[in-house]
Amino acid sequence: MKTFKIAALAGDGIGPEVMREAIQVLRVTEKKFGFRLEFTEAPVGWAGIDAAGIALPDETLAVCKNSDAILFGSVGLPDRDPTIPKEERPERAALLRLRKEFGLFANLRPVKLPKVLAHACPLARERQGDGIDILVVRELTGGMYFGQPKKTEDLGGGNQRAIDTMVYTTPEIARIAHVAFRAAQLRRKKLTSIDKANVLENGILWREVVTRVGKQYPDVALDHMFVDNGAMQLMLKPTQFDVMLCENMFGDILSDEAAALGGSLGMLPSASLGATNGKQTFGFYEPAGGTAPDIAGKNLANPIAQILSGALMLRHSFGLNDAAAAIEAAVATAIAAGHRTGDIFSPAETGARKVGTREMGGAIAAAI
Ligand code: IPM
Ligand code: MG
């Protein structure tokens, strides 16, 4: 029987409770579709600091290196940040480090507003058209997140200067553009590339390279949009978008905005992929939302983003397309049956029932 090794890094805040539901759902597909998943749980983030003194303990990294994919929860507890230097905080020392370590340059964030959740979308119904269905492709290992120099200098007299550097090279832009064009070919064949070419050198190069790569994909309609306009167009007419290609920081911002259109950040999964050897692609799968410390441990979090991240893992890293589709269908079934965590609940909706993290996970597992 095919066996896949998974590093399960639940992390902080709501991470552990949504991870538990995702593993439960994945276990059901395992039986039904006939493959084996070997989960190894390991601490990361503040959980790593509490267990081993650092956000990404060596043993956790070793578990990841020894796995076929990483299923990740979320890290970061802002209240505890002041207790350690900024370089050691989980966002930089664990999450960004893992992205870099495994060369996970391609981040896919599929936003889909199910028709029955129209009330959870902040836009008026007429702007939702026939439904919102956008794939944000975000470059994940370049740009301002990683560019050097990155530091805060003392200027004397109580003043400081903070420096972040935005850097992209031609190959970095080209490889993420190829990912986006190939994704568009499998969808509605439209790609909108986001940049700030009216101000940034990076934006000019981004547009040039994406345009050049686009010549190899004549079946995909390419257009370009400045990021400020892109943010506005998402609000005005989200149905115009199929695939949105963004550099790292623009993709961070626009994917949260798009997630709100999809009903809730708690519904947005993501896949972060590195280079593929054609057979198997190492990947990192995580909900796009954060640790939500305010609701952690209260059985309130929406586990759907984590569960759908598990589906993306089956598809992109293991090629288990049927099992992935079964999870996605089960999520749709649970929603159609009226199960709603607080983030997608409206008292005005008839037939809907407010449920907790466990009930939602259970309903999805039962629907497979
Ligand atoms: C995301 C998150 C991270 C990011 C944070 C937690 C560092 O917002 O994955 O979108 O900015 O990339
Ligand atoms: Mg973000």
Please provide the size of the chain in residues.
368
Is the peptide bond between 149 and the residue preceding it cis, with omega within 30 degrees of 0? yes
Helix ranges, 186-247 (H): 201-214, 227-236
Q: Cα–Cα distances in Å, from 332 out to 8, 335, 367?
A: 24, 5, 9
- Which 3 state secondary structure label does DSSP give 327? helix
Q: Starting from the CA of residue 94, give the closest ligand.
A: 1
Number of H helices, E strands in the chain: 13, 14
pLDDT tens per residue, range 102-133: 999 999 999 999 888 999 999 999 999 988 99
Residue for token digits 């578990």?
Answer: 63
The residue to mutate among 136, 150, 252, having the most atoms of ligand 1 within 8 angstroms of its beta carbon, is: 252
Quick one: tokens of 37? Answer: 């998943």
Q: What gap in Å lies between CA 47 and CA 51, rounded to an integer?
A: 6
Q: Cα–Cα distances in Å, from 345 out to 188, 277, 294, 329, 342?
A: 30, 43, 18, 20, 5
What residues are paired with 276 via a beta bridge?
Answer: 281
Quick one: tokens of 81? Answer: 């940040």
Q: What gap in Å lies between CA 45 and CA 51, rounded to an integer?
A: 10
* Ligand 1 pocket by Cβ (under 6 Å): 76, 91, 95, 252, 288, 290
Whether the CB-CB separation of 53 and 336 falls below 8 Å is answered with: no
Q: Whose CA is nearest to atom 5 of ligand 1?
A: 91
pLDDT tens per residue, range 210-236: 999 999 999 999 999 999 999 999 999
The residue to mutate among 70, 87, 95, having the most atoms of ligand 1 within 8 angstroms of its beta carbon, is: 95
C-alpha 108 to ligand 2 mean position (Å)? 12
Q: What gap in Å lies between CA 136 and CA 36, rounded to an integer?
A: 31
Q: Whose CA is nearest to atom 1 of ligand 1?
A: 288
Nearest to 307 by CA among 142, 137, 73, 144: 73
pLDDT at 130: 85
Q: What gap in Å lies between CA 251 and CA 144, rounded to an integer?
A: 12
Q: Cα–Cα distances in Å, from 348 out to 117, 282, 304?
A: 12, 43, 22
pLDDT tens per residue, range 79-98: 999 999 999 999 999 999 99
pLDDT at 115: 86
In which band, very low, low, confident or very high, does the pLDDT at 276 lie, cut at 50, 70 and 90? confident
Is the peptide bond between 43 and the residue preceding it cis, with omega within 30 degrees of 0? no
Residue 275 has pLDDT above 90, yes or no: no
